Amino acid sequence: MVLSVHRVPCTVYRSPFTVYRVPKNMELDFKKAGGLIPAIIQDERTNKVLMLGFMNEEALEKTQSTGKVTFFSRTKNRLWTKGEESGNFLNLISITEDCDNDTLLIKVHPVGPVCHTGDDTCFKEKNEGRHCEGDIYSSEKHQARHCEGDSPKQSIDDIQFLKYLQDFIDRRRLEMPENSYTTSLFTKGIGLISQKVGEEAVETIIEAMKGDDERMLYEASDLLYHLIVLLTYKGYRIEDLAKELKRRHKKN
């Protein structure tokens, strides 16, 4: 029997940086374990389980309102936002309850290592491909940089790299580091970004008409990168294009 139910309406939070969701009509039994429920934390990009924490109703509400995962610390006997001291936040992507309404699966984008020991996870496992250092593109040379740890091409499927690149550009939009080509595009605004999309589209067409497939792929990659920057600037992601294409798609 459910003694206490916490109802959560369907909510979609959109910002220029990220989108996170909680399910419709989520009903949680907080009384079963004395006011707390376990929350399994999983990296949304790599599917690696990162840690286990506990939430009360207030911690869940704060997680939803701020977009940063907050637990109830049984040691501190208070709310504790992961990363409040270290800066290694868990940025919320989605929340799902289990079949018994007494456990949560929370998907996140972690900022830095998760464990207080400095490990990627609290289970002493590597979370490969979780983030990159450096910019994907530089203003002088359009060359991909490698990921911290393994290279993205070693740890991420080819098609999944588009999502990885989107996440990276989201972080650039949020952090706006100096000496970054991506930052310079966001700083100069919609006019320049749109111009770059047009230029790369024309260059892609030119190489296709010339029959230079290698150069065509190179220019098309630049086109896609600048298109993702444009989408991000407007508050969207590459997945929004996928959803639109899926909506239009007819099996016949």
Q: Mark 34-61 as b/e (b = at least 16 C-beta within 10 Å).
A: eebbebbbbbbbbebbbbebbbbbebbe
27 confidence band (pLDDT: 50, 70, 90): confident
pTM of this prediction exceeds 0.85: no
pLDDT in the model for residue 164:
84
DSSP state of 38: E
Digit-coded pLDDT (tens) for 42-75:
998 788 999 999 999 999 999 999 989 999 999 9
SS3 65: helix
**Cβ neighbours of residue 180 closer than 8 Å, sequence gap 6 or more:** 135, 172
What CATH number labels 152-248?
Answer: 1.10.287.1080
DSSP-derived secondary structure letter, 222? H
* pLDDT tops 60 at residue 176: yes
Q: How large is the average pLDDT for residues 182-208? A: 97
Query: Is the pLDDT at 2 greater than 80, yes or no?
Result: no
65: left (phi over 0), alpha (psi -120 to 50) or beta: alpha
Condensed to tens digits (0 to 9), the pLDDT of residues 92-111 reads 988 999 999 999 999 998 98
pLDDT for residue 136 is more than 80: no
pLDDT given at position 107: 92
pLDDT score of 184: 96
Domain locations in the chain as residue ranges: 5-110, 152-248
Q: Is pLDDT of 246 > 50?
A: yes
Nearest residue to 51 via CA among 116, 147, 128: 116
Kind and range of the H or E element at 85?
none
What are the DSSP calls for 171-205, one per residue? HHHHH--TT-HHHHHHHH-HHHHHHHHHHHHHHHH
Q: Which of 6-20, 69-83, 161-175 is predicted with the least confidence, judged by mean pLDDT? A: 6-20
- Structure confidence at residue 17 (pLDDT): 41
Q: Which comes out higher in pLDDT, residue 172 or 133?
A: 172
- CATH architecture of the domain 5-110 equals Roll (3.10)
